[in-house]
Amino acid sequence: MSGSNAEKGLPRYDRDYLLSPAKRNQIVDLWEVENFGRDSFGDPDAVALYGMGPAEWHAAGVRILARTLLEAVRDPLGNRIGADVARIAAMAPAASGFGVVDCFAGSCNGLYSILRHLPDATGIGFEFEPAIFEMSSRNLASLGAPIELFNGDFRTLLDARRVPPGRRVVAFLAPPWGDALSREKGLDLSRTKPPIAEIIADFERVYADRPVLYVVEVHERLVPEPLTALQASFDWSELTIYDLAGPTGRHGVLLGTRRWNR
């Protein structure tokens, strides 16, 4: 299909429509993915996932839900995050590999992108919404991705499903922002769901004696106090905002390490 949605009498593929109760858990057709890309980014191929444009991933058997159009880390952002993680990983002392953990796995494309940039890395994802878990599990199987995805709340799974011993831990933290992102103040990292410091405390309990690289997805505008407190809790940290425009502003990462240079 070509031409705008308005010309064809279709709804605008915006946040309200895609997250509406009737639409959110529906599988979207390829033309809808392209319409969303056109409406939101002026580019029908904007929803690049798993290293492929929409037509290619659709042909490979990948299917996504309407809400995933909004929630997924798309390839341009995932690749930037992956490259930064790889840069820090390469500075670590000789290690026997990496285990990347995503507690908010969704489509798993954020996790998949990081894995594509790291040598000898495997992934563990947690996802508590059954509809997303099932869809992503099927997609990962058709891609042959080195990711184990578990259904449930990360707080109950983190301890039971650990990174194998000897591997360095990379913790990708991209929890739902909800009302932690406000137009006036930007993103408050102490109000994500759950707050970033609480998630880090959960990791520190499970991986108390392991080197951990925390990778926190952030917005270009950040409430200063929670950011400063988080930076102070790391042995080393680096904040990067990527030059990639999105409907809600530019995103980036706060990288922070604990025990990484051992």
**Binding residues for ligand SAM (CB under 6 A):** 71-73, 103-104, 106-107, 109-110, 126-129, 132, 153-154, 174, 176
Lookup: tokens for 133: 């878990």
Q: Which is nearer to ligand SAM, 212 or 215 (CB)?
A: 215
Nearer to ligand SAM, 5 or 215 (CB): 215
Residue closer to ligand SAM by CB (options 125, 256) is 125
Helix (H, G, I), strand (E, B) or coil at 214: strand
Question: Would strands 212-219 and 168-173 be described as parallel, antiparallel, or unpaired?
Answer: parallel
Nearer to ligand SAM, 215 or 223 (CB): 215
State in angstroms the smallest separation of the CB of 104 from ligand SAM.
3
Tally of CB atoms within 10 A around 262: 11
φ and ψ of 39, to 5 deg: -65, -40
Minimum distance of ligand SAM from residue 164's CB (angstroms): 21
> What is the nearest approach in angstroms of ligand SAM to the Cβ of residue 116?
13
CB of 67 to ligand SAM, least distance (A): 8
Beta strands in 47-189 (DSSP E): 98-102, 121-127, 147-151, 168-173, 181-182, 186-187
Return d(Cα 1, Cα 34) in angstroms, integer. 9
At its nearest, how many Å lie between ligand SAM and the CB of residue 128? 4
Q: How many residues does the chain have?
A: 262
Q: Decide whether 14 or 129 has the Cβ nearer to ligand SAM.
A: 129
